[in-house]
Amino acid sequence: MRKFIVALLLGSTLMANTQPVQRPKLVVGIVVDQMRWDYLYRFNDRYAADGGFKRMLNQGFTCESTLIPYAPTVTACGHASIYTGSVPAINGITGNSWWDNQEMRSVYCTEDKSVKTVGSSSALGLMSPRNLLVTTICDELRLATNFRSKVIGISPKDRGGILPAGHSANAAYWYDNTVGDWITSTYYMNELPQWVKDFNAKKLVDSYYEKGWDLLYPADTYIQSSADEKVYEGKPFGKNFPYDLKKFIGKTYSSVLTTPYGNTLTAEFAKTAITEEHLGADDITDFLAVSFSSPDYIGHTFGPNSVEAEDGFLRLDKELGSLLNFLDNKVGKGQYTVFLSADHGVSQVPEYLQENKLPGGRVFMSNVVKQLNNNLLEKFKIPGLVVSDDNYQLHLNRMALDSAKIDKEEVTEWITGYLSAEPGIARVFPIDELNEVPLPGRIREMLNNGYYPRRNGDVQVILHANYIDAYSSTGTTHGLWNPYDAHIPLLWYGWGIKQGKTNHDTYMSDIAPTLAALLHIQMPSGSVGKVIQEVLK
């Protein structure tokens, strides 16, 4: 009898030990390129009851004070930080591009000359994640399941699809705006799957152009936005709504990204990928990383207070609602987990601020650097001494300084004095003095977190609040430490997620560790974030 009981207990123990780890069937990571946190509430009464934002706010969990922990706050850094739980100082993605001090050239974040384009004949496919120095949460999921999990990254921008999906992804796809097709590189495969070829053959972009872009609702209801036509807005389609896009049919495939149809194209491609790749179809967790790029193109061109930006987010809300409904039907309600965040925010257009008696302005850094180089030539007899102003930093030609036997410290101190008198520049200092100059702790930490020696410069520039590094007299940009650039939304929804919110400070780098806890897998190899415990059931 005793032997029978012992055997029964041992059997029960063995059965308990063979129970699989509980995980969702699918994780969908959504990054909205250029979404300020306040958009969740600025347009809240305009979002649809069955749209994506209200559904996630009301039925999921929202982290209301989510901040980017580094500078510069730009696209590549944001996507890398979200999925690595890390910062540029560790993951190496210090900008969309950076000056490489050893190679003495500008390097694009995902460039890879060892691969070839798959899906078109352009050079836009010469990309891979090789410049990313650590793993992503997608890599860790692949490792945890012995590579049985399927991971796919999708974004109109190559960096928005490649960096999140990580090194071991099954695929990453991005948009070739020269031909209007989704492409990839030989890093992932030698030929596009038939379903991608079939999707491209539909030429959906031309059908979107045929429709044109008119407002979703009557013009007089857009009371949260400025007048439709402002001199400081870009004019890629004409003066005001409705925009006739028929002239682009069969000719220009880049313009679609500066309309809400860029989001529609991305959502439709994501849905097709879920279906054709059977994502979430079994008990082995898959991961789809999706980035919506059009809000960034629209925001840069028209500004965050434009009718175009408001209409873009009202339409994106509907796209997100449709995507959630699709997941309900395809994967099953309660069987998937979604998070939504942004890679960065954006500054208001300076002239919009000025006309409302608020501080703001433009600093044309390229012109400033051109004049600076002229003065440096006169003083130090070296032409083109400043080789780059990437990421709010000046990079010096160190080889030329060494050859001329000129002390770099002397040059950087001279530059600091020169630029300190430039209107719009709040602080400028040699980077190697970062931890000595008087700065608020948060700003110092953000700059330290953005510093990776081989990919960073010699002189740091910080602009006044609401001043932007401008390339034209219209539109706006982002990239600095300020809340309008660094305060982003973070919404959680679905399997394993509580309903509620927190106003405690959380960080972009906390997303990957929280996913690791949810999935019971290892954090990415460079992770410095913490688990947001309030989110998890």
| Tens-place pLDDT, residues 273-299 | 999 999 999 999 999 999 999 999 999
**Cβ atoms 276, 14 nearer than 8 A:** no
Where residue 251 falls among pLDDT bands split at 50, 70, 90? very high
Q: What are phi and psi of 398, to 5 degrees?
A: -70, -35
Residue 393 has pLDDT above 70, yes or no: yes
Same domain as 288, residue 166: yes
Tokens read off for 408: 């770099």
pLDDT of residue 2: 53
Same domain as 223, residue 155: yes
Same domain as 416, residue 273: no
Whether 8 is in a domain gets the answer no
Q: Which is nearest to 68 in space by CA: 39, 35, 42?
A: 35
**Cβ atoms 109, 470 nearer than 8 A:** no
Tokens read off for 306: 């434009």
* Gap between the Cα atoms of 534 and 501, Å rounded: 8
Residue 450 has pLDDT above 70, yes or no: yes
**Cβ atoms 303, 188 nearer than 8 A:** no
Residue 228 has pLDDT above 90, yes or no: no
What's the whole-number mean pLDDT along residues 29-34? 98
For residue 265, the SS3 value is helix
Residue 14 has pLDDT above 80, yes or no: no
Whether 469 is in a domain gets the answer no
Q: What are phi and psi of 504, to 5 degrees?
A: -70, 150
- What CATH number should be reported for the domain holding residue 381? 3.30.1360.150
Q: Mark 230-255 as b/e (b = at least 16 C-beta within 10 Å).
A: bebbbeebeeebebebeebeeeebbb
Q: Which is nearest to 514 in space by CA: 499, 500, 527?
A: 527
Same domain as 272, residue 203: yes
pLDDT of residue 227: 86
Same domain as 282, residue 204: yes
Same domain as 310, residue 213: yes
Residue 420 has pLDDT above 90, yes or no: yes
Residue 534 has pLDDT above 60, yes or no: yes
Element of type H or E holding 114: none
Same domain as 454, residue 368: yes
Q: What is the pLDDT of residues 176-203, one digit of tens each?
A: 999 999 999 999 999 999 999 999 999 9
pLDDT of residue 17: 56
Listed in sequence order, the residues at least 6 apart from 405 whose beta carbon sits closer than 8 Å to its beta carbon are none
pLDDT of residue 8: 46
> Which residues are designated catalytic?
75
Whether 1 is in a domain gets the answer no
pLDDT of residue 15: 46
Domain of 83, in residue numbers: 26-354+482-535
- Supply the pTM of this predicted model: 0.95
**Cβ atoms 60, 496 nearer than 8 A:** no
Same domain as 187, residue 332: yes
* Gap between the Cα atoms of 459 and 416, Å rounded: 8
Whether 116 is in a domain gets the answer yes
Residue 262 has pLDDT above 50, yes or no: yes
Where residue 78 falls among pLDDT bands split at 50, 70, 90? very high
Q: Which is nearest to 172 in space by CA: 161, 182, 163?
A: 161
Same domain as 108, residue 58: yes
Percent of the chain with pLDDT over 90: 94
Per-chain mean pLDDT for the chain: 95
What's the whole-number mean pLDDT along residues 240-244? 94
> Strand 336-342 and strand 26-32: pairing?
parallel
Element of type H or E holding 292: strand 286-292
Where residue 18 falls among pLDDT bands split at 50, 70, 90? low
* Gap between the Cα atoms of 289 and 183, Å rounded: 16
Element of type H or E holding 220: none
What's the whole-number mean pLDDT along residues 444-451? 98
Q: Tell the residue number behind the tokens 């600091």, with chain if given.
A: 416
Count, in order, helices (H) and strands (E) of the chain: 19, 19
pLDDT of residue 7: 47
Whether 470 is in a domain gets the answer no
Same domain as 287, residue 433: no
DSSP state for residue 534 in the 8-state scheme:
G
Whether 477 is in a domain gets the answer no
Q: To 10 degrees, what angle do helices 204-211 and 261-276 make?
A: 150
Whether 471 is in a domain gets the answer no
Tokens read off for 420: 């300190």
Residue 212 has pLDDT above 70, yes or no: yes
* Gap between the Cα atoms of 261 and 213, Å rounded: 9
* Gap between the Cα atoms of 66 and 69, Å rounded: 9
Listed in sequence order, the residues at least 6 apart from 86 whose beta carbon sits closer than 8 Å to its beta carbon are 80, 134, 509, 512, 524, 526, 527, 528, 529
DSSP state for residue 221 in the 8-state scheme:
G
What's the structural domain count of the chain?
2
Percent of the chain with pLDDT over 70: 97
The residue out of 435, 464, 493 marking a domain boundary is 464
Whether 3 is in a domain gets the answer no
pLDDT of residue 283: 95
Q: What is the pLDDT of residues 37-72, one digit of tens each?
A: 999 999 999 999 999 999 999 999 999 999 999 999
Where residue 1 falls among pLDDT bands split at 50, 70, 90? very low
Where residue 6 falls among pLDDT bands split at 50, 70, 90? very low
* Gap between the Cα atoms of 205 and 455, Å rounded: 37
Same domain as 242, residue 176: yes
Same domain as 431, residue 494: no
